[in-house]
């Protein structure tokens, strides 16, 4: 069995896979990582390998404790992956994007795939049908758009993100919601249309923390998968199972 660990700035996502089947998922704050880790290995004693994304976000003590439980693969730009990486600056490519592209390569083989991760930033990553990663785009995420309008102006309030039902806002609040939310929806649809003009058999995958805000308003057909990054990390671990 495999343990997948995705470490963010404040949260840690952990998942247990039996082969390619997700058995368990847990999101916790970093200070609770070791307690959650002990519980996972108590409940799933068959775990013999783990993969960690953003291991630098763990303390040395946390990383050492994890290695006491099982063999650990740290995902880096040098880790073997199931696609050809043609990114011009591979050392700067985030491990989260590497994992998402790996998930596309394994889940949609022989298809052109555009993976859209709607998180702190929105990332667009494109994989060709012959499994060549070309790159993509990075833009401000939904929460960042709200915060930027508040931080860089004198009077605009900081609002919680909300679905904008109308294009025309008739108050400052509804105008902000329309600009932030609808602007992002139109951006995503625009990127999808641009890729479709070049690649006819395009599969689009939407994931990330704000995917639930966006998926029902996009006019293009998409596959929404909140576990896509975790699945990608597991695929990479499986791809390296003879070396880990």
d(CA 240, CA 244): 6
Q: What is the CATH number of the domain that holds 26?
A: 3.30.420.40
Please tell me whether residues 67 and 116 are part of one structural domain: no
Range of the domain at 191: 84-232
Same domain, residue pair 137 and 155: yes
- Asked whether residue 79 is domain-assigned, the answer is no
Residues 226 and 198 occupy one common structural domain: yes
Measured between alpha carbons, how far is 203 from 224 in angstroms, rounded to an integer?
11
94 and 61 belong to one structural domain: no
Instruction: Give me the tens of pLDDT residue by residue for the chain, a chain 244 residues long.
Output: 999 999 987 789 999 999 999 999 999 998 899 999 999 999 999 999 999 998 668 888 988 999 999 999 999 999 999 999 999 999 999 999 999 999 999 999 999 999 999 999 999 999 999 999 999 999 999 999 999 999 999 999 999 999 998 999 999 999 999 999 999 999 999 999 999 999 988 999 999 989 988 988 898 888 999 999 999 999 999 999 877 6
Residues 55 and 92 in one domain: no
d(CA 2, CA 26): 14
Active site residues: 96
What's the total number of domains in the chain? 2
Is residue 89 located within the same domain as residue 39? no
Q: Is 243 part of a structural domain of the chain? A: no
Are residue 216 and residue 109 in the same domain, yes or no?
yes
Dist. CA 75–CA 95, nearest whole Å = 7
Cα(225)–Cα(49) distance, integer angstroms: 24
136-149 per-position pLDDT tens digit = 999 999 999 999 99
Q: At 238, list the tokens.
A: 């499986």
Helix and strand counts by DSSP (H, E) for the chain: 8, 11
Same domain, 88 and 119: yes
Cα-based distances in Å from 4 to 36, 77, 111, 176, 217: 13, 17, 26, 38, 31
pLDDT the model gives residue 55: 61
Q: Tens of pLDDT along 90-101?
A: 999 999 999 999
Of 55, 74, 93, which marks where a domain is finished? 74
* Angstrom distance (rounded) from CA 226 to CA 153: 34
């Amino acid at each position: 069995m495999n343990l997948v660990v995705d470490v963010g700035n404040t949260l840690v996502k952990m998942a247990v896979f039996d082969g390619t089947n997700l058995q368990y998922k847990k999101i916790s704050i970093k200070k609770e990582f070791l307690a959650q880790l002990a519980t996972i290995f108590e409940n799933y004693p068959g775990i013999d390998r783990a993969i960690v994304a953003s291991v630098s976000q763990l303390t040395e003590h946390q990383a050492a404790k994890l290695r006491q439980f099982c063999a650990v693969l740290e995902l880096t730009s040098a880790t073997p992956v199931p696609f050809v990486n043609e990114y011009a600056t591979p050392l700067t490519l985030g491990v989260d994007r590497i994992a998402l592209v790996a998930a596309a390569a394994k889940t949609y083989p022989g298809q052109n795939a555009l993976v859209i991760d709607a998180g702190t930033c929105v990332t667009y990553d494109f994989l060709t049908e012959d499994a060549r990663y070309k790159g993509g785009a990075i833009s401000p995420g939904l929460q960042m758009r709200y915060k930027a309008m508040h931080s860089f102006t004198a009077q605009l309030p900081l609002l919680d993100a909300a679905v904008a039902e109308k294009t025309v806002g008739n108050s400052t609040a509804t105008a902000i919601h329309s600009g932030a939310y609808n602007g992002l929806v139109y951006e995503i649809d625009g990127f999808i249309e641009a890729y479709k003009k070049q690649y006819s058999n395009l599969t689009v995958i939407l994931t990330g923390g704000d995917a639930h805000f966006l998926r029902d308003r996009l006019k293009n057909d998409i596959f929404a998968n909140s576990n896509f990054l975790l699945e990608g990390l597991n695929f990479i671990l499986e791809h390296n199972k003879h070396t880990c």
